[in-house]
Amino acid sequence: MTDAFVGWKGELVRLVPPDRTLHFENALRWMNDPEITATLEFNLGFSRKQEEAFFDRIEGPNDTDFTWAILDQASRHIGFIGLHAINWRHRAGMGGILIGERLAWGQGHATDAVRVRTRFAFAQLGLHRINGHTFNPAMKRVYEKAGYRHEGTARKMFWRDAQWYDVSLFAILEEDWFSNLPAN
């Protein structure tokens, strides 16, 4: 089923529409893995019912929120990536990503997936700006590698494990992306 749509392709990954029959159990496992959720906004554990509601939302048509499953070069499902809260007046959206298979970390999968999502946002949706915020040092590096600019720090924005964390704010504009396209 997943292979019926080749997906949006990068050098290492493909982004395909989420499918409950293929991606649900991984999602549930990852959202209940404390190492994965340590740097996510939501880390309280996810019930099967909550996961069902999540899939109800992401599988249906939605003009302001896109989520894809991330497949590696062997077509293994390794994560999810999204473009959320799209504001069509300002043509801006917010990024989110999770590489749930820890063995797949550190190989460039997230960077490639972010690049593919960025291309989709500007070339297919005509967006103007993609925002991203994170307190995960690896994710900061991903944004840098994918051409996002560090625009500032939101001080003490996240409360986690009895302490506040500063959050780094990143963004890319369509002109940043279009001006870096290889010349024909």
User: Residue for token digits 């460039």?
Assistant: 108
Smallest distance from ligand COA to CB 9, Å: 16
Total length of the chain: 184
Rule CB under 6 A: say whether 40 interacts with ligand COA: yes
Determine the straight-line distance between the first and last CA of the chain, rounded to whole angstroms: 35
Q: Which is nearer to ligand COA, 16 or 110 (CB)?
A: 110
Smallest distance from ligand COA to CB 107, Å: 5
Contact range with ligand COA by CB under 6 A, out of 62-70, 117-125, 136-144, 172-180: 136-144
Q: Which is nearer to ligand COA, 75 or 126 (CB)?
A: 75
Rule CB under 6 A: say whether 43 interacts with ligand COA: no
CA distance 128 to 66: 16
- DSSP-assigned letters across all residues of 59-112: HS--SS-EEEEEE-TT--EEEEEEEEEEETTTTEEEEEEEE--GGGTTSSHHHH
What letters, b where the CB count within 10 A reaches 16 and e where it falls short, cover 97-122? bbbbbeebeeebbbbbbbbbbbebbb
The site that binds ligand COA (CB under 6 A) totals a number of residues, namely 20
Rule CB under 6 A: say whether 33 interacts with ligand COA: no
Q: Which of residues 84-123 bind ligand COA (CB under 6 A)?
A: 97-99, 105-111
Rule CB under 6 A: say whether 141 interacts with ligand COA: yes
Give the binding site for ligand COA (CB under 6 A): 36, 39-40, 97-99, 105-111, 134, 136-139, 141-142
